[in-house]
Structure 1
Amino acid sequence: MAIAAELFFLDPASAATLQHQLRQQIVEAILDRRFLTGERLPSSRELARHLGISRLTVATAYADLMAQGFLSSRDRSGYFIAEGVQSRPAAPPTNDAEQRADWSRLIGQRFSTSRGRFRNPEWRSYRYPFIYGQADPALFDLAAWRQCSRQALGQSDFNLLTADFYEADDPELVLYITRHLLPRRGIHARPEEVLLTLGAQNALWLSAQVLLNQRRTAVIENPCYPGLRQIVEQTRCHVRPLDVDAEGLPPDQIPQGTDVVFTTASHQCPTNTTMSLARRRDLLERAQHEGFAIVEDDYEFEMSFTNAPSPALKSLDRAESVIYVGSFSKSLFPGLRLGYLVGPTEFLAEARALRALVLRHPPGHLQRTVAYFLSLGHADRQMEHMRRVYAERRAVMEEAIARHRLEIAGAGSGAGGSSFWMRTPPGIDTTRLAQDLLAQDVVIEPGPDFFFDPEPQPQHYRLAYSSIPSERIAEGIARISGAIERAKT
């Protein structure tokens, strides 16, 4: 790789010679690993022209550095960063208050203190990764995706690829969502009632920012998706968690004065329970009479193996109280970061304006690639394949769980989805269990971060099977069972 001449500069106010400045810049870059072994430096002519100095000055600096072992030369090829030069360790942060800005004072809001899920970025290196929401490369049609991506790079789509559409979205993708995806959930919406987002997380954030403030009250499920809890808490609104049961969120416990209810009605996160039809109607009736909005996160409706998915809340809504959140993370892949909001035009006008302020719109090439992938039938074929594989994995996991007498705390057989919500015997801290299992080559998700108040609930954990092949599930469950037995003693 060639090092660009534009990376070099000289300080006209420096007392050091031009040659010394150039040598120092190159040495500093090598020691800091900004210039790597084998990379080629600009020619003396090119660098001299860029810096406006004599070519002899550059050639002399190069020759000195070669004599010191920092550079090597090749006949008719130029100068290169030499092998064997050791980089220096990172310098510790300075404690000199006079030199460093006081960032503890300058930071106006803090987001890093929010509780986050137990995440292991190296989960792929473990043999038994029971991690939720990650893609299995064996299940994705990469060749079809490449084809659609190349098609989206064609001349006919050049404007969509290169232009800034401000607040607009790809009309082809929006049309497919309104004509083909939403009707599968019983939802009928016009294109102007759909807004594309950078995934469901971004859709939930936009919803919370538009609907909540310090004077308003939000109801969330307990346990719930940790990302949602953190989003709602950052609005500084009043948060009221409601414990879910075997039928999901109980509408009769929603307190007076509630402004927004967030729910995963069709597939509660993380327990996998489904809100009953009676409760759905009750929730919608309360929303209409009491004047609160409902944000429905329908994140995994495609993963219904044995029964048809229950109707979305949005499909039953006659008062336009429901804002619907959809995502392509489960049907395509999570790294796509593409989702959508469906709601009343008054709400979407504000969400669209906020999105434009923060990120304009999702990349046009990405939107058009997804539009082709959907319209050409690739997504439907992939989803059908995923359902078959996930159903097989679920059956293998259920059998292994039963054989090792592990306890399922959430919905069991027939619930679909891609995970199990589990519970250990009393007295076992699942955060510590998860740490211990890493030594057994097993990755699980401990449960405390899913709860609004984690202290009374240390014994839940989640096991997902989207990223682990069927033939490894039984051994992984056996290792979890063994770790739990050891933790009892």
Structure 2
Amino acid sequence: MAIPVESFFLPQGAAGTLQQRIRQMVSEGILSGRFRAGDRMPSSRGLALHLGVSRITVTLAYTELVSSDYLTARGRSGYYVSEGVPVQPAFQPVARREERVDWAAVTGGRFSRQPRLERPEDWRSYPYPFIYGQADASLFDHQNWRLCAVQALGRRDFETLTADYYEQDDPMLIEYILRNILPRRGISARPSEVLVTMGAQNALWLAAQVLLRPGQAVALENPCYPAFRGMVAQTGARIMAVDVDADGLPPEALPAGVDVVFLTASHHCPTNATMPLARRNALLKAASERGFIVVEDDYEFEMSFLRPVSPSLKSLDSEGRVVHAGSFSKSIFPGLRLGWLVGSEGFIREARALRGQVLRHPPGHMQRTAAYFLSLGHYDALVNRMKMAFRKRRMAMDEAIGANGLTVAGQGGFGGSSFWMEAPEGVDTEALALRLRGEGVLIEPGRVFFAPEAERRNFYRLAYSSIAPARIGEGIARIARAIG
């Protein structure tokens, strides 16, 4: 039968070109079962007139649909829905009935109840977003990333794009990590000692699952990256909070009987303190004498722009006691979800097997795109551009904070992308954050960074990675007025 031209309409405000929207409109009609195999499509002239577009636009859309086997061209007879299109099942979905499962009781809320940082989904609409970890579109190299992605989609890289690596990784990305990323941190490693992960979060989770068992003792910095506690809690290990000072975690404060230590040595999260070399050596000496393992989160290593970087803990490790986790999420963009683990071969073997059971490997196309972006020099150019921009923003933040009388609890001396702030006693920064949203300002309350038994509610974090420099002064002034 012929499909009436009135069956077609283009929704207002839909994304994509006219040609893409026409293809989507036709394919959705076929996949939903409204248009059936053998049905005759409206003529290109008739559909163009009905939709108010040019005939060539409809003709090109029809041609693409023929190449995708949604439509069949029959000479002068016109276009027909292909005989090979998917057929909708004859049965109907079961109507939704009353929910009778108490999922809170079934799951125990073990994961959803873990404290975590939260920000509004529409954070970009706020004029003063002092939030951490988001990419700044004005700094990102869109053009070269797009070119690398297209190159990775080419025929030459077809195997990389489509193959199941099982438990392996893209050799091109591994080679670049070995030759360029790790040496900057003083680390020398073999391919069998490196694993590509879905960002640093996934790397740290893998480390926790491999290293920890119920009843073991784990030392975490206090305050610390909130996800550390959630990852460790999943293993059943006992958490020991160790207060940090201006130089990060003090090795002499580690409790007796600790089995694993998680820490951020390059820039402590959230205070940005950089652990001095003498303290790093003291920590490794204690690990050797007491037999514990160290998991080093390479937090914001690339953002050391005030002083020369310090060697990583892994680079100083002579006994294989350090597991090193890093990520491209902050230096390229968070949505990339690519990171790495470096450790002794025996550890990486276990982490690789666990990753294989959960997600096989990160997507091949993303690995190869990142490999091209890194190997062609675009990554280093991006990092340098970010460092220069962050240095200027940091100076603007420092000036505005001083001018408005706010108190800095920790800003670090090597760089980073945020300030750790302290409000007067009695100020609840979660309530403060809600009030500030009404003035277009976003801050990150600090309570979730602290261990539950040592909770502090008057701390907050101000990041400058996503805010325009011209808005920093007014944003800080609004925070100061709200604190009073």
> What is the TM-score normalised by the length of structure 1?
0.80
Indicate conservation of the 8 Å contact 1:2/1:42, yes or no. no
Following TM superposition, by how much is the alpha carbon of 1:255 offset from its aligned partner in structure 2, in angstroms?
1.6
Following TM superposition, by how much is the alpha carbon of 1:289 offset from its aligned partner in structure 2, in angstroms?
1.5
Is 1:257 the equivalent of 2:281? no
Deviation readout 1:321-357 (Å, 9 max, x if unpaired):
0000010012111110000000001111110000000
Indicate conservation of the 8 Å contact 1:296/1:322, yes or no. yes
Residue in 1 aligned with 2:434?
A: 435
Indicate conservation of the 8 Å contact 1:262/1:297, yes or no. yes
SS of the residue aligned with 2:302?
coil
Which residue type is aligned with residue 457 of structure 1? R
Residue in 1 aligned with 2:482?
A: 483
Residue in 2 aligned with 1:314?
A: 314
Residues in 1 aligned to 2:389 and 2:103: alpha-carbon distance in whole angstroms: 50
Residues in 1 aligned to 2:418 and 2:98: alpha-carbon distance in whole angstroms: 53
Deviation readout 1:407-442 (Å, 9 max, x if unpaired):
000135x43100000000111000000010000100
Give the gaps of 5 or more residues in structure 2.
1-24, 42-95
Following TM superposition, by how much is the alpha carbon of 1:128 offset from its aligned partner in structure 2, in angstroms?
0.2
Taking structure 1 as reference, are residues 102 and 478 closer, same or farther at Cα in structure 2, changes over 3 Å only?
closer
Which residue type is aligned with residue 139 of structure 1? L
Indicate conservation of the 8 Å contact 1:448/1:455, yes or no. no
Residue in 1 aligned with 2:464?
A: 465
Residue in 2 aligned with 1:243?
A: 243
Q: How does 1:29-48 map to 2 (within 5 A)?
A: none
Is 1:446 the equivalent of 2:442? no
Following TM superposition, by how much is the alpha carbon of 1:282 offset from its aligned partner in structure 2, in angstroms?
0.9
Following TM superposition, by how much is the alpha carbon of 1:6 offset from its aligned partner in structure 2, in angstroms?
7.4
Residues in 1 aligned to 2:307 and 2:255: alpha-carbon distance in whole angstroms: 33
Following TM superposition, by how much is the alpha carbon of 1:475 offset from its aligned partner in structure 2, in angstroms?
0.4
Deviation readout 1:340-378 (Å, 9 max, x if unpaired):
000001111110000000000000110010000000000
Q: How does 1:357-372 map to 2 (within 5 A)?
A: 357-372=357-372
Indicate conservation of the 8 Å contact 1:4/1:41, yes or no. no
Indicate conservation of the 8 Å contact 1:329/1:338, yes or no. yes
SS of the residue aligned with 1:296?
strand
Q: How does 1:142-153 map to 2 (within 5 A)?
A: 142-153=142-153
Residues in 2 aligned to 1:107 and 1:194: alpha-carbon distance in whole angstroms: 34
Is 1:2 the equivalent of 2:1? no
Residues in 1 aligned to 2:479 and 2:360: alpha-carbon distance in whole angstroms: 45
Residues in 2 aligned to 1:248 and 1:8: alpha-carbon distance in whole angstroms: 58
Q: How does 1:140-219 map to 2 (within 5 A)?
A: 140-219=140-219
Residues in 1 aligned to 2:180 and 2:482: alpha-carbon distance in whole angstroms: 46
> What is the TM-score normalised by the length of structure 2?
0.80
Q: How does 1:266-285 map to 2 (within 5 A)?
A: 266-285=266-285
Taking structure 1 as reference, are residues 135 and 424 closer, same or farther at Cα in structure 2, changes over 3 Å only?
same
Residue in 1 aligned with 2:129?
A: 129
Taking structure 1 as reference, are residues 429 and 8 closer, same or farther at Cα in structure 2, changes over 3 Å only?
same
Residues in 2 aligned to 1:392 and 1:325: alpha-carbon distance in whole angstroms: 28
SS of the residue aligned with 1:324?
strand
Which residue type is aligned with residue 296 of structure 1? E
* Range moving further from structure 2, 440-449 or 227-236: 227-236
Indicate conservation of the 8 Å contact 2:308/2:414, yes or no. no
Indicate conservation of the 8 Å contact 2:207/2:351, yes or no. yes
Indicate conservation of the 8 Å contact 1:221/1:262, yes or no. yes
Indicate conservation of the 8 Å contact 1:298/1:325, yes or no. yes
Taking structure 1 as reference, are residues 40 and 460 closer, same or farther at Cα in structure 2, changes over 3 Å only?
farther
Give the gaps of 5 or more residues in structure 1.
10-38, 47-95
SS of the residue aligned with 2:301?
coil
Residues in 2 aligned to 1:298 and 1:374: alpha-carbon distance in whole angstroms: 18
Indicate conservation of the 8 Å contact 1:3/1:40, yes or no. no
Residue in 1 aligned with 2:415?
A: 416
Taking structure 1 as reference, are residues 250 and 155 closer, same or farther at Cα in structure 2, changes over 3 Å only?
same
Residue in 2 aligned with 1:301?
A: 301
Residues in 2 aligned to 1:435 and 1:445: alpha-carbon distance in whole angstroms: 10
Q: How many residues align?
A: 406
Residues in 2 aligned to 1:242 and 1:211: alpha-carbon distance in whole angstroms: 19
Indicate conservation of the 8 Å contact 2:444/2:460, yes or no. yes
Which residue type is aligned with residue 423 of structure 2? T
SS of the residue aligned with 2:470?
helix
SS of the residue aligned with 2:462?
strand
SS of the residue aligned with 2:452?
coil
Deviation readout 1:198-217 (Å, 9 max, x if unpaired):
00000000000001111211
Residues in 1 aligned to 2:454 and 2:242: alpha-carbon distance in whole angstroms: 16
Which residue type is aligned with residue 300 of structure 1? E
Following TM superposition, by how much is the alpha carbon of 1:303 offset from its aligned partner in structure 2, in angstroms?
0.9
Following TM superposition, by how much is the alpha carbon of 1:2 offset from its aligned partner in structure 2, in angstroms?
3.3
Following TM superposition, by how much is the alpha carbon of 1:305 offset from its aligned partner in structure 2, in angstroms?
1.6
Which residue type is aligned with residue 160 of structure 1? T
Following TM superposition, by how much is the alpha carbon of 1:97 offset from its aligned partner in structure 2, in angstroms?
10
Residues in 2 aligned to 1:131 and 1:294: alpha-carbon distance in whole angstroms: 29
SS of the residue aligned with 1:138?
coil
